[in-house]
Amino acid sequence: MFRDRLTMVSSGGGNAPLIATLAFMNCTFCRILRNELPASRVVEGTLTTAFLDIHPVSPGHALIVPRRHVESFVDLSPEEASELFMTGQLLATHMKKTLETCEGITVSLADGVSAGQEVPHAHLHIIPRTLGDGFGWRFPANYTSDAAPRANLDAVAARIRASLNECKKS
């Protein structure tokens, strides 16, 4: 099936579909979805599936991934994004109920290499937390606890709002 898919896109001209297909074939999460790699699965959804991270920060650390190979969070469909986060909430609820070491939950999604995304297939981390477990955010050296000037916040907010409004028009 995958060979057919490769042939089909190869004859279509242009390298972008071929690169996309190769990414799909080699992607660790897509390989788990095709049962080519083992995974400790926790819940199967219509558009997403969830399994435990092979390098857990804590017991129960789970990943929720869309069934479709999508690299960036922003390219998920609204339905995929919705199921991703609803499944995250469901898992968090049951982790708190069942895991003795789960006092709290960190929900994390890295979009892009600069954000720390290591597998180029969008995924949401649900990480059970215990007080003093040592995991957490690392702030840049120039970070300050002083509130940002309101004018700066307003200027950035205005740019994002303008982009949103532009989308609504088109």
Which residues are annotated as catalytic? 123
Q: How far is the CB of 165 from Zn ion (least distance, A)?
A: 34
23/57 with CB nearer Zn ion: 23
d(CA 86, CA 45): 10
Q: How far is the CB of 69 from Zn ion (least distance, A)?
A: 4
* Beta-bridge partners for 41: 51
**Tokens for 124?**
């949401």
Residue nearest to Zn ion (CB): 27
Q: For the packed helices 16-26 and 2-10, what is the interaxial angle rounded to 10 degrees? A: 160
How many of the other CB atoms lie within 10 Å of CB of 123?
A: 23
**Residue 90 or residue 119: which is nearer to Zn ion going by CB?**
119
- Closest to Zn ion by CB, 23 vs 107, is 23
Two tokens at 153? 């916040």
Q: Which helix (H) or strand (E) holds 4?
A: helix 2-10
Q: Which residues bind Zn ion (CB under 5 A)?
A: 27, 29-30, 69, 121
37 or 157, CB closer to Zn ion?
Answer: 37
Half-sphere exposure for 43 (CA within 13 Å, toward CB): 22
Task: Please report how close the Cβ of residue 115 comes to Zn ion at its closest, in angstroms.
Answer: 18
What are φ and ψ of residue 50, in 5° steps? -135, 140
- Does the CA dihedral 108-82-64-23 come out positive or negative? negative
The least CB distance from residue 40 to Zn ion, in Å, is 18
